[in-house]
């Protein structure tokens, strides 16, 4: 069992950067950072897991059963990811599209060391000498950005191809196949050389986000600036906070910025998209929550981030007795904000019209503590990188409805890609 030892730190910013430098020596680590957002008074400012005592890697098939068994066997901190293509285990689907990154569908590990960094303290969870860990980080060199040549980014679709596919999806909607589909496109580079820690730090400076992550599993990295929470469990209560609705920030003009915010709040299109996803999440949570406990805590909340305003709703419920976090994940995955309505049909259409396997994109990264409480993000606004093959990829998408303007949806994808392109180029 890991013991908790707390130390006082002098400078939060400096110590955080030393942690970022120190963790690079490990083959597997997971850094979760809320970037000082205070939406729900999180228990930590920065959480880092390094090293591996035990690991579970699985692809769709019997992954959820293996995860439930793994979680029950260890009763410890668990960190890791859920890939989008776990859908193939939950539903009668398969994925045949190209995958240049190669993350497993599921990967969880029991870390050797967990670090919980707050403004004035560091708590070290480990079985060995916590003071030795603390001193090793203190003595670590200050983080220095490694500047590499700019990465050439290519588009998987031309704008004309994208518009044509959106029009096809609208024909499916007109026929009654679905109501809304989250359609994504890939941006990629086939010979990218980057320092993931540098790219992460630059991305946090440009676009700090409450569910950010830097995640490494051997040669594969996820550099994540996500604003969205997929799933949180606190005792027997679970909640989800889907995002559906985006408008551009105007940071140089306060009046224009507020106008953009109000337009998002009052947009009938965005409200319609958001409420459809809320209903889907309510339905998913009702599969594992006690009757009558699933409720919408906030509908159409507008939250502002450096690049965009987002429309976020919050849905919660009380888990049925005898169920744990793995049951809740299996009932709600993949998240409705990244699929559409109805979920099975739109996932079939996503496979048909997208050219790239989503992999970890639109999956989740997060942690579970020894008490079985945990928090997972939605992997969006994220750069994936395979250091062995030098393949780099990021994807962006938007919700397509019958009333969508294809050219405007394309522009929304470019807006979401903007910060990632900037830190790479």
pLDDT value of position 77: 97
The answer on pLDDT for 142 being more than 90 is no
**Count of Cβ atoms closer than 10 Å to residue 54 Cβ:** 13
pLDDT tens string 381-409: 999 999 999 999 999 999 999 999 999 99
Inter-residue contact 76 to 127 (CB < 8 Å)? no
> Across residues 111-130, what is the average pLDDT?
94
Buried b (16+ CB within 10 A) or exposed e, 145-182: eeeeeebebeebbeeeebbebbeebbebbeeeebbbbb
pLDDT, average across residues 346-371 = 97
Q: How far apart are CA 405 and CA 70, in angstroms?
A: 46
Q: What CA–CA distances, in Å, run from 313 to 21, 208, 229, 263, 414?
A: 36, 20, 10, 17, 24
DSSP 8-state symbol, 112: S
Distance CA 366, CA 33 (A): 11
41-46 average pLDDT score: 69
Residue 366, H or E segment: strand 364-368
d(CA 319, CA 287): 9
Q: Give the per-residue pLDDT at 307.
A: 85
The pTM of the full predicted model, rounded to 2 decimals, is 0.95
3-class state of residue 283 by DSSP: helix
Grade residue 1 by pLDDT with cuts at 50, 70 and 90.
Answer: low
Q: What is the pLDDT of residues 296-332, one digit of tens each?
A: 999 999 999 888 899 999 999 999 999 999 999 999 9
pLDDT, one tens digit per residue, over 240-267 is 999 999 999 998 999 999 999 999 999 9
Correct CATH for 3-142+149-424 of 3.30.70.1230, 1.10.510.10, 3.30.9.10, 3.60.120.10:
3.60.120.10
Give residue limits of the domains in the chain: 3-142+149-424
Pick the closest to residue 101 from 340, 383, 355, 366 (CA basis): 383
Distance CA 50, CA 27 (A): 8
- pLDDT, position 261: 95
Is pLDDT of 362 > 60?
A: yes
Cβ–Cβ under 8 Å, residues 156 and 188: yes
Residue 94 has pLDDT above 80, yes or no: yes
With a pLDDT cut of 90, the percent of the chain lying above it is 90
Q: What is the pLDDT of residue 40?
A: 59
Cα 322 versus chain centre, distance: 28
Beta-strand runs (E) in 51-141: 54-58, 78-82, 106-110, 113-117, 121-126
89 or 1, greater pLDDT? 89
CA distance 245 to 141: 42
Query: Across residues 198-216, what is the average pLDDT?
Result: 95
For 351, the token pair is 């496979």
186 touches 407 (CB < 8 A): no
Structure confidence at residue 42 (pLDDT): 52
- Residue 258: how many other CB atoms lie within 10 Å: 12
In contact, 237 and 317? CB cutoff 8 Å:
yes
Residues 22-29, mean pLDDT to the nearest whole number: 95
3-state secondary structure of 412: helix
* Residue ranges in 315-398 assigned as alpha helix (H): 325-332, 343-353
pLDDT of 41: 56
């Amino acid at each position: 069992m890991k013991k908790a030892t707390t130390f006082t730190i002098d400078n939060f910013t400096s110590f955080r950067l030393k942690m970022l430098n120190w963790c690079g020596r490990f083959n597997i680590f997971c850094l979760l950072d809320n970037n000082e957002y205070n939406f729900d008074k999180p228990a930590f400012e920065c959480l880092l897991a390094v090293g591996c005592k035990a690991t579970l890697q699985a692809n769709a098939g019997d992954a959820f059963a293996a995860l439930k068994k793994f979680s029950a066997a260890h009763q410890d901190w668990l960190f890791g990811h859920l890939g989008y293509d776990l859908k193939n285990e939950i539903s009668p689907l398969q994925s045949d599209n190209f995958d240049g990154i190669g993350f497993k569908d599921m990967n969880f590990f029991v870390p050797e060391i967990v670090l919980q960094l707050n403004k004035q303290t560091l708590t070290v969870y480990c079985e060995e000498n916590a003071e030795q860990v603390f001193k090793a980080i203190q003595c670590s060199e200050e983080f220095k950005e490694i500047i590499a040549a700019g990465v050439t980014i290519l588009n998987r679709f031309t704008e004309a191809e994208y518009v044509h596919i959106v029009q096809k999806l609208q024909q499916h909607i007109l026929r009654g196949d679905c109501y809304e589909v989250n359609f994504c496109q890939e941006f990629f580079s086939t010979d990218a050389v980057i320092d993931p820690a540098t790219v992460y730090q630059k991305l946090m400076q440009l676009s700090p986000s409450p569910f950010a992550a830097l995640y490494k599993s051997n040669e594969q990295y996820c550099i994540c600036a996500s604003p969205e929470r997929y799933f949180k469990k606190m005792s027997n209560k679970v909640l989800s906070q889907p995002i559906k609705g985006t408008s551009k920030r105007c940071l140089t003009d306060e009046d224009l910025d507020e106008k953009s915010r109000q337009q998002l709040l009052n947009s009938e299109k965005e409200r319609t998209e958001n409420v459809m996803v809320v209903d889907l999440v309510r339905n998913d949570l009702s599969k594992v929550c006690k009757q009558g406990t699933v409720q919408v805590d906030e509908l159409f909340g507008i939250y502002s981030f450096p690049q965009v305003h987002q429309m976020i709703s919050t849905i919660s419920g009380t888990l049925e007795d005898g169920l744990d976090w793995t049951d809740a994940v299996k009932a709600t995955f993949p998240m409705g904000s990244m699929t559409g309505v109805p979920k099975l049909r739109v996932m079939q259409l996503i496979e048909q019209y997208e050219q790239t396997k989503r992999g970890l994109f639109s999956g989740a990264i997060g942690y579970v503590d020894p008490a079985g409480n945990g928090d997972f993000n939605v992997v969006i606004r994220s750069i994936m990188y395979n250091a062995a093959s030098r393949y780099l990829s990021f994807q962006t998408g938007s919700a397509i409805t019958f009333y969508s303007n294809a050219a405007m949806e394309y522009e929304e994808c470019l807006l979401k890609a903007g910060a990632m392109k900037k830190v790479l180029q």
